[in-house]
């Protein structure tokens, strides 16, 4: 099973950076990967969404209808920081949990884990086949022919289905040399995403951790991207 992916969505951006830092530290200690819209890029898929007051220009009570579309998951936790909404209003809108800040970060991590267990978010492994002779990949309903470099990147990502690989590590594997110019890796990733089509969401990126191939069983519907999601690595 891959690491849990937690998105922390904010209404007031950097104003809430201290909340993001506290939550991220605790969630990542528990084995999850936490991102927020302070990051340069958001994952198009997530196992859980934590919302602080709202998301960008989207009011808090309207967030639940967007979560499935953008992240493929239900909104699990609403944190009231400056919001005047009542807890009952927020729960009625579709959130599983709601609390006012400050919340002890360990309590947040525990509530996310409990909600995921209750919802049965346990993933199997998707059928992914690599043909090293013809440099082809089959993933879900997608089949594609790759270049040698693209095939090498994908094979290395699949070797670490529960871990992350940096661009420099991928460059070392593909070229056999250490280097700092990772533009070649970014080009391979973009080409892989294009060729994987509806399965492109499986290749994820995190600013601090690198790339990761999500080998879960489900297939995502291509999301309508939030403006801050449009820039991909």
For residue 80, list its beta bridge partners: 100
pLDDT in tens, 5-19: 788 888 877 778 888
- Give the C-alpha separation, 154 to 144, whole Å: 12
- pLDDT value at position 41? 57
Mean pLDDT value across residues 79-86: 90
- Concatenate the DSSP letters of all residues of 220-231 into one string: PPPP---GGG--
User: Strand 54-55 relative to strand 58-59: parallel, antiparallel, unpaired?
Assistant: antiparallel
DSSP 3-state of 154: helix
Which residue do the tokens 């400056």 mark?
A: 82
- pLDDT value at position 133? 87
Q: Which domains are assigned to the chain?
A: 5-119 (3.40.50.2300), 128-215 (1.10.10.10)
H or E stretch at 167: helix 167-175
- pLDDT value at position 180? 67
- pLDDT value at position 80? 92
- pLDDT value at position 179? 61
For residue 33, list its beta bridge partners: 5
Q: Rounded to the nearest 10 degrees, what angle do helices 148-159 and 167-175 cross at?
A: 120
- pLDDT value at position 5? 76
Mean pLDDT value across residues 95-100: 85
Tokens representing residue 140 in the block:
């879900």
Predicted confidence (pLDDT) at residue 49 exceeds the cutoff of 70: yes
Mean pLDDT value across residues 107-111: 75
Contact (CB, 8 A) for 22 and 65: no
- Give the C-alpha separation, 13 to 153, whole Å: 34
How much of the chain, in percent, has pLDDT values that exceed 70?
74
Contact (CB, 8 A) for 150 and 188: yes
pLDDT in tens, 133-181: 899 998 878 899 999 999 999 988 887 655 678 888 888 888 766 666 7
Mean pLDDT value across residues 67-83: 80
């Amino acid at each position: 099973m891959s690491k849990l992916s937690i998105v922390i969505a904010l209404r007031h951006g950097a104003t809430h950076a201290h909340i993001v830092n506290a939550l991220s530290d605790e969630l990542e200690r528990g084995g999850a990967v936490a991102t927020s819209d302070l990051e340069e890029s958001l994952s198009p898929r997530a196992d859980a969404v934590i919302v602080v007051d709202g998301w960008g220009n989207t009011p808090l009570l309207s967030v639940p209808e967007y979560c499935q579309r953008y992240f493929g998951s239900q909104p699990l936790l609403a944190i009231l920081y400056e919001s005047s909404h009542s807890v009952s209003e927020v729960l009625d809108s579709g959130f599983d949990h709601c609390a006012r800040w400050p919340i002890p970060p360990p309590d947040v991590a525990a509530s996310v884990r409990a909600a995921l267990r209750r919802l049965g978010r346990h993933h199997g492994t998707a059928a992914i086949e690599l043909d090293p002779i013809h440099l082809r990949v089959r993933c879900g309903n997608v089949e594609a022919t790759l270049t040698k470099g693209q095939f090498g990147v994908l094979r290395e990502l699949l070797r670490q289905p529960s871990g992350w690989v940096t661009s420099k590590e991928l460059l070392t594997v593909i070229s056999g040399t250490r280097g700092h110019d990772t533009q070649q890796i970014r080009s391979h990733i973009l080409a892989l995403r294009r060729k994987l089509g509806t399965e492109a969401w499986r290749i994820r990126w995190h600013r601090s951790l690198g790339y990761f191939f999500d080998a879960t069983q489900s297939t995502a519907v291509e999301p309508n991207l939030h403006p801050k999601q449009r820039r991909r690595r």
